[in-house]
Amino acid sequence: TNSFMATASLDFPSTASGTSTGLVIAVTGALLGDPVVLGFTNYVAGWMFTPRSSNAAVHVVFHNFSGSAGDPPPSLFKVRVIQ
């Protein structure tokens, strides 16, 4: 089993309720469809963050289900890709 880790500060833009925005963390060795474990330092009810691996990257998507626009402050995100 291989694993690849990366850490990045991500600053998502203001996102309307019911929509999503995504940012990318470079992860050398990651492949499309690899399982990803995501850690982050921000939690707000109605907000959800999901990871998705692709070649040499992890896409982190912010989903806003809060009922109003959400603008997460810059936060540290950690990802581990497992092969």
pTM, two decimal places:
0.94
| pLDDT higher than 90, residue 42 | no
Task: Give residue 11's pLDDT.
Answer: 96
CB atoms within 10 A of CB 26: 10
* Res 61 pLDDT > 90: yes
Using CA of residue 36, residue 6, residue 26, residue 8, what is the dihedral sign?
positive
Split at pLDDT 50, 70, 90, the class of 41 is: confident
pLDDT at 43 over 90: no
| Beta carbons within 8 Å of 15's beta carbon, 6+ residues apart | 21, 62, 64, 69, 70, 71
CB 56 within 8 A of CB 27: yes
Let me know: does 79 contact 35? Beta carbons within 8 Å. Answer: no
Mean of pLDDT values over 43-55: 94
Structure tokens at 34: 């690899």
